[in-house]
Structures are given as structure tokens and as C-alpha cells.
Structure 1
């Protein structure tokens, strides 16, 4: 029986995770049965939401199991198929494939991807959950109207980049918030944001007031914490907040305590709605059909940060929490 490498969750993190929670194991690859595929991983996605699954708490996704392989979105190549719909050499996308060099999975859990439409890695990003998250959150919850002002936190991240460009496509004034001068320059010069603000320099609330003289109509929140506290006072009446992520507080060991935002939401009739993209499976095809032509036409550009080597997956994941990625963080094997 063939042996492959697997990344196991060896311990649950307290606060900021480190390499001690991961373990590399040699595991036996099971025989491929009818209706199954043997896959070899090619591209692995690392995402902030995975941090929440490392805690043994009830959430929208079940927690990772201790002493089991971690899992996430991945593009893999079919090595052996016992399903007539797949052949060796096909590239497939799986939303929850184990962090292993090779794996055997039911064919029903993956789908073929068309690399004539876009590079394989894009199906983990702008044409995958990242792009769909931006599309659903901005259009369904943000309900954009041309001429409005959109503020995006985590703007240089995978979702933020797509949200900002979609906003420009829809006629919005777009202001991004990021954490370095290089990212600020990139957002304005390469991605067409009208303005970009560095939350690490100066008074962010004052920066927002200057950049958004007519207030904020849509706040796409990828970050939470102090950044969101700075945005809320500038919300207009009937503003909308698609609540996508809270990466600023994922590693807090105690509950985060900040300004009470409910009075502002109440008195200005603001809508704030959290959403999880897995709740919209019937909309995936629609979202890809909307995004793919924009990507092909260059109206939505996408940045990827590649890390080479299966053994680098844990390091790439940890780098998300110190802002070392621009756009989508992907491990290439």
C-alpha cells in the first residue's frame, strides 16, 4: 500500500497559532473503490476561516478533528479513476480536500475545471470561493447604486481586491483600507481604487472622513476590530454592511470589547448582515458566469501570492495573520 504525506492537527491553538500545532505524518493511501478517485494535490488554498475551525466550538463549519488531516480548497490532478466521468490527467476542484500529497475521495465531492477559461489556481480565487464571496456579499447585501461610496477593509486581500474592482465596475467610489504603503500604492495604481488608506499610520477615522466626504454607503467588512470601529461613525443613513470576515480578532483569547456600534446602526437605519458563501450553493454558477467575462476582459485583475512546496502549507497559513500575502495565498506543488 502506498504511503503519502499528510499534515495533521496535533493540538488546538490558543491565541495566535504557530508551527507546534501541525505535524507531518506518513499515512497509507487506501485502495480506490468504485465511484472514487485517487488525486494528487497541485494547488492548496489557505484561508483565514480555517483558524476558526481549529477551535473546538460550534460554528458554521464543524471543527477540525485532532489527530486528523486538516482540509481546505484544493486543485488536484486525477491519478486513478473508478468513475466514468473522470479520467487520469483531469484537473478537479474540491472545496474540502485533505492536506495530503495524494488522497482518495468520492468523485461526487469534486468537479472538473476548465483551464481554457482561466489558470487552474484561479478556481481557488477569483473564479472560486473568493470571487463568489465578493459577488454575493456586494450585490446581495451591499445592493450597490452608481455614485455611492464603498469602503473595503482588508482591501489588498483576496476578497477585498475583487470587491473593490466590482465596485468600480458598478460605478461606485471605492476606498480601500490596507496595512502597508506598498499595498496602498498597488490598490490605487494597479486596481483602480479611488483612494486607499493605511490603517497603521495616523488617525484612521480622520483618514476616512477626508477620503469619504459624502459618508459611507457600503462597508464591506473583512477585518473587524479597530478598523471597523473607525468606519462606523462615517456610515450614512440606510448604509449596508456585508459582514464577511473578522481576521483582526480571530486569534484573541478573550472576547473582543470595543465601541458599541448598535446605536449608530439603529439611529441611521443601517443594515449589517453576516454571510457565509457555502449558504449560496445554487448561486455558484451564476457568480462564475458573471465574473469570468470580466476576468477575461481584464476588467477584474487578480493577484496571487504563491508559496512553493507541500511542506510550506502551515507557514503559508500562518503568514495570513501577519499580512504577508497580497491577494490570494496559494501553495503550489
Structure 2
């Protein structure tokens, strides 16, 4: 039997328990060319909240009564004459929040768990890592000497963005919530400074810690923090819009930047980025980040919780901030 988290209704505001239903369904027999994957871990990401809305986006919205969309990783345990895979292969793709997946293998990729643990392949070496790698370099266009500001700096994407910027010779200031997270990005990840938005006035802190302004702002949060950062742009700065987690559960309209004319005054750019646009170069990025990890320049932290029945509770940690690093759910029993 296959335990599956089924998407039952579109949420308004916070995601409550009745949005999902845990079902236990039979695994279908394999047809010719299909494989059966036993999933070990699923990825929990802020983007999930947007997928639940019936609105135009970079990816179709979740369909009611479908398995909740999620990145995942697991192992092939049955194979009905699929030549691309062998039993025991470790594979990753968009398997959704369920324990088993029957597939013809399209869109699934083999990874080597001898080189890195499974959760890392849906974290630093997966979508969050790719987002950081291409977002800060291709969209942010960082160069040595830049002053880089990162919101959501202790999260799965922000923590990697800051480390890559440091590797590239930038000064990096991270915005995070709470002393523990601020200490983590400074003392363990090597950020030059941190702003605790929970205890500091964001405008005062930016004036103090970014006195010369900001060349690149990588935003995962939106709202007030985006507004504040726009006030500190240097000439020809780049603003990367990766996410806006502060706005995802709004019941009314999204709070957009009220001081966007800062872009005009400083001749700056603001550009959105979606990681799927860079899919053809994922292998290049993963190889480079693997090298940085071996050299001790790039650190990874996965916050792993257990039990598919705990999906909704664990998912909400994305918005409460009650997590450390990449949020992952172990679904194998």
C-alpha cells in the first residue's frame, strides 16, 4: 500500500489540516517499461504554497485530488524492462508526497548516494542549490568586491547564496530571524554580518551594516524587507526576486514595493528567477558545488523530520521559521 498526501482544497491564508488528506492506496501493477520507486525523502519548499493557488504562474497549479507536488528522492525497487534503470538505483525527481511512485522514468535522474547523503540531493545539490547557484551568478551577476544582501539568509536557498557570494569575493550581509540563525550564518557560514529582523529595526540596521549601500539584493522574503532593501541600492544594483515567503499566506493583496522608484534613481534592475530555466546546466552547477564542498568552502544543513503523516505540521515550519536549513521529510517507514 502507498501512503499519499492528497491535495483536497485550495487554502485561503495559512495552510490548515483540511487542505490535505492522508490516503492509503494500492500500488498499481507495473506496465511494460515502468519502474517502482520507493521514496525515502521529500523536499518541503516555500514554492509549494504558490502551487496551491489557482492562478497563473511559472508552473500549472495543483489539481484538486492530486498527490501534493514535491521534489523527492528514493530507490528503484522493481523494474519491468526499463533499460535506463536498475534495481537499487538512487533516483530523484518530482515524485510528490507519497511513499511509492510508478513511472516510466521520464524526468527521473540517477544520483550517487556514496558521494552525498540522499537529503542533500533535494537540498544543496537539488532545486534549492541550483536556485542559489544560478540566481546569484546569472541573475545577480555578482563580481568580486560587490556588497551582497540576502534575505531568508539561514534558509535552504539564502544560506547557499551567501556562501557562493563569499567564494566569489563579495561582502555578504544576511537577514535572518533570531539570534541563533544570525550566529549560524556569521560563525559557521562565514557571512560578514547579519541583521535580525525580529529584534532590529530593518531600516536602522541596513543603515548601520550597509553604510555604502548594496550592489546585489537576493530576496526570498518580499514585503517590508524588500522595501527596506530598495532604499539602499547603489548605482546599477541588481535585485533578484527569488521568493516572497512573507506574502504567501496573505488573505488580501500582496504588499508590493512602494519605493520602486529607487530602481530609476540608481539605474538598477529587478529581475525574477525560476530555477527551471537553467535545467540544462544543473550538472555543471552540481559538479562545481561538489568541488566547493570538498574544499570546505560550501556547507550544507538539512533539517529532517520523519513520518508522512506529519507532512502538514512539518510544512508549516517553513512559515513559522521553526527550522534550521533545508526542510526535508522522511517518508520511508
Q: Is TM > 0.5 for Structure 1 vs Structure 2? A: yes
For the 8 Å contact 2:223–2:257, the answer to whether it is kept is no
Q: Distance in 2 between matches of 1:224 and 1:285?
A: 30
Tell me, in whole angstroms, the C-alpha distance in 1 between the residues paired with 2:246 and 2:185.
Answer: 20
Give the aligned partner of residue 328 of structure 2: 330
- The answer to whether the 8 Å contact 2:215/2:233 transfers is yes
Report the CA distance between 1:93 and its aligned residue. Answer: 0.5
Instruction: Compute the displacement of 1:98 (Å).
Output: 2.5
- Alignment partners' CA distance in 2, 1:46 and 1:258: 25
Q: Which moved further from structure 2: 252-261 or 223-232?
A: 252-261
1:16 aligns with 2:14: yes
Residue of structure 2 equivalent to 1:91: 90
Instruction: Within 5 Å, give how 1:123-134 maps onto structure 2.
Output: 123-134=121-132
Q: How does 1:27-42 map to 2 (within 5 A)?
A: 27-42=25-40
- State the SS of the aligned residue for 1:11: coil
Which residue of 137, 143, 153 maps to 1:145? 143
Root mean square deviation, CA, Å: 1.2
Give the superposition deviation at 1:257.
3.4
Residue 231 of structure 1: CA displacement? 1.1
**What do residues 76-135 of structure 1 show as CA deviations (whole Å, max 9, x unaligned)?**
1111012122122211001x2132111201212211111232112111011111111111
- Take 2:305 and 2:229, find their aligned partners in 1: how far apart are those partners? 33
Please give the secondary structure, in 2, of the residue aligned with 1:72: coil
Deviations along 1:149-169, one digit per CA (max 9) or x if unpaired, are: 100000000001100100110
1:260 pairs with 2:258:
yes
Which contiguous aligned blocks of 4+ residues in structure 1 show a shift greater than 4 angstroms?
none
User: Shift of the alpha carbon at 1:261?
Assistant: 2.7
Q: CA contact under 8 A between 2:92 and 2:108: conserved in structure 1?
A: yes
Matches within 5 A, 1:52-71: 52-71=50-69
Secondary structure of the 1:109 match is coil
SS at match of 1:57: coil
Unaligned segments of structure 2, at least 5 residues: none
Q: Which residue of 270, 282, 285 corresponds with 1:284?
A: 282
Q: What SS does the aligned partner of 1:158 have?
A: coil
Shift of 1:28: 2.1
CA distance in 2, matches of 1:89, 1:257: 48
Q: Do 2:42 and 2:96's aligned partners in 1 also have CA atoms closer than 8 Å?
A: no
| Structure 1 Cα separation of the partners of residues 28 and 16 of structure 2 | 30
CA distance in 2, matches of 1:145, 1:106: 43
* TM-score, normalised via structure 1 length: 0.96
Residue 202 of structure 1 and its aligned partner are, at CA, apart by 2.7
Cα deviations across residues 41-88 of structure 1 (Å, max 9, x unaligned)? 101101110101111112111111111211211001111012122122
What SS does the aligned partner of 2:25 have?
Answer: strand
User: How many pairs were matched up?
Assistant: 330
- Whole-angstrom distance in 2 between the partners of 1:309 and 1:259: 39
Aligned ranges 1:98-109 → 2 under 5 Å: 98-109=96-107
Residue 301 of structure 2 aligns with which residue?
A: 303
* SS of structure 2 residue aligned to 1:107: coil
Which secondary structure does the structure 2 equivalent of 1:98 belong to?
A: coil
Alignment of 1:117-196 (within 5 A): 117-196=115-194
Q: CA deviation at 1:216?
A: 0.4
Query: Which of 201, 207, 217 pairs up with 1:203?
Result: 201
- Rounded Cα–Cα distance in structure 1 between residues aligned with 2:328 and 2:256: 33
* TM-score for both structures, normalised by structure 2: 0.96
